[in-house]
């Protein structure tokens, strides 16, 4: 069977909008709403929010005797205000596996309780070369040496508090989205790239007048980066869970930015052999450019569901993303291959 064609412009438009919607773990509601609105134009999808705040879409299939699930996560790395310093600057605590050096000098937005936002940037406490010289260069990029310099007139704790900023406010780092020559460069392609691939699948199947072979639950989770995203939200009747999340690119990895990848094993151990074999068979039948790989420092929402007691076959596929949890990059080829693979699975 030929796969329905992908609306590339739709995929990239949705992705750009999603990347530009801040969603640090615990504060992902705007990205959940953005995705809910995009899916609401497909009348056969039943949309709901879980109590935990994730988006669940149910897509009735040709059959319902072996329902399936897809999952991808909407939350990203980020931070929370830990302390308002006597200088008026903010010390942060990180969300998920954020590496301070990877966001040094990045622009950021602070979300206050009242709904106001403030702009700023993440600097070291010894940022000026002319003042600190070598000391600034050698400073460990650790929590106590990093601070938010607010773009607001404050030089004291009191002035910052008077702005309405408090301990516990969420902080999102700028994604800096750029599309050039088929490359997509942005923070948080993990895992917004895969959410966009799933939406492109939904669009492609609808445009072709098709629906999934089995009723399919799509869970867009909101706590993946802290390890328990898809632990809840997948109904017990589901027999298979396809996790769609980025592939890790780097030295010794077979993944790259031009292929989609199936992960055979990560830090949490191996994925389901039978389901992985079926997916590889499908990719080969459809001529989808894919790689098989293992990831050394990685855990997924599929494993979160397994750890929570989910009795399902779990597999993991996704586009190769260079410099993950850093300033990430992938290529449209990997996004299209991932979309084709999800589509081929759903109609199989
Ligand atoms: Zn991820």
- Say how many Å lie between the CA of residue 268 and the centre of ligand 1: 14
Q: Alpha-carbon distance 244 to 197, whole Å?
A: 9
Residue 96 token pair: 């998920």
pTM: 0.98
User: Which residue from 124, 139, 128 is spatially nearest to 91, judged by alpha carbons?
Assistant: 124
pLDDT in tens, 324-340: 999 999 999 999 999 99
Side-chain half-sphere CA neighbours of 135 within 13 A: 8
Among the listed residues 33, 83, 224, 284, the single catalytic one is: 224
Mean pLDDT within 81-98: 98
Helices 189-207 and 332-347, packing angle to 10 deg: 50
User: Which residue from 136, 149, 76, 168 is spatially nearest to 107, judged by alpha carbons?
Assistant: 149
- Say how many Å lie between the CA of residue 145 and the centre of ligand 1: 27
pLDDT in tens, 207-257: 999 999 999 999 999 999 999 999 999 999 999 999 999 999 999 999 999
Core vs surface per residue 75-94: b (16+ CB within 10 A) or e: bbbbbbbeebeeebbbbbeb
Catalytic status, residue 83: no
- Say how many Å lie between the CA of residue 52 and the centre of ligand 1: 18
Q: Is the pLDDT of residue 1 over 90?
A: no
Reported confidence tier of residue 79, pLDDT bands at 50, 70, 90: very high
Share of the chain above pLDDT 70, in %: 100
pLDDT in tens, 268-309: 999 999 999 999 999 999 999 999 999 999 999 999 999 999
- Say how many Å lie between the CA of residue 204 and the centre of ligand 1: 24
Mean pLDDT within 42-70: 98
Helices (H), 208-295: 273-286
User: Which residue from 181, 225, 184 is spatially nearest to 320, judged by alpha carbons?
Assistant: 184
- Say how many Å lie between the CA of residue 190 and the centre of ligand 1: 5
């Amino acid at each position: 069977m030929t796969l329905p064609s992908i609306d590339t412009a739709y995929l990239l438009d949705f992705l750009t909008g999603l990347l530009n919607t801040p969603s640090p773990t615990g504060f992902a509601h705007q990205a959940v709403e953005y995705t809910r609105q995009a899916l609401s134009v497909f009348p056969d999808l039943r949309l709901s929010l879980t109590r935990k705040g994730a988006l669940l879409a149910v897509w009735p299939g040709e059959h319902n005797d072996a329902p399936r699930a897809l999952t991808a996560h909407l939350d990203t790395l980020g931070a929370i205000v830990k302390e308002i310093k006597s200088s008026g600057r903010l010390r942060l605590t990180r969300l998920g596996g954020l590496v301070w050096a990877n966001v040094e000098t990045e622009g950021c937005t602070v979300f206050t309780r009242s709904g106001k936002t403030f702009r700023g940037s993440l600097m070291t406490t010894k940022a000026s070369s002319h003042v600190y010289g070598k000391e600034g260069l050698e400073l460990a990029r650790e929590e106590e040496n990093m601070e938010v310099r607010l773009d607001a007139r404050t030089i004291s704790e009191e002035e910052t508090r008077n702005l309405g900023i408090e301990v516990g406010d969420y902080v999102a780092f700028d994604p800096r989205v750029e599309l050039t020559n088929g490359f997509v460069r942005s923070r948080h392609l993990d895992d917004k790239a895969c959410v966009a691939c799933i939406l492109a699948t939904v669009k492609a199947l609808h445009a072709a007048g098709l629906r999934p072979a089995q009723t399919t639950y799509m869970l867009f989770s909101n706590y993946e980066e802290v390890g328990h995203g898809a632990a809840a939200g997948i109904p017990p009747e589901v027999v298979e869970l396809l996790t769609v999340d980025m592939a890790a690119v780097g030295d010794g990895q077979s993944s790259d930015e031009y292929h989609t990848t199936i992960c055979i094993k990560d830090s949490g151990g191996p994925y389901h052999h039978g389901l992985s074999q079926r997916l590889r068979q499908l990719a080969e039948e459809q001529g989808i450019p894919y790689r098989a790989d293992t990831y050394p420092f990685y855990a997924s929402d599929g494993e979160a569901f397994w750890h929570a007691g989910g009795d399902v076959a779990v597999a993991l596929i996704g586009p190769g993303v260079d410099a993950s949890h850093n300033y990430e990059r992938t290529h449209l080829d990997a996004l299209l291959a991932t979309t084709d693979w999800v589509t081929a699975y759903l109609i199989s």
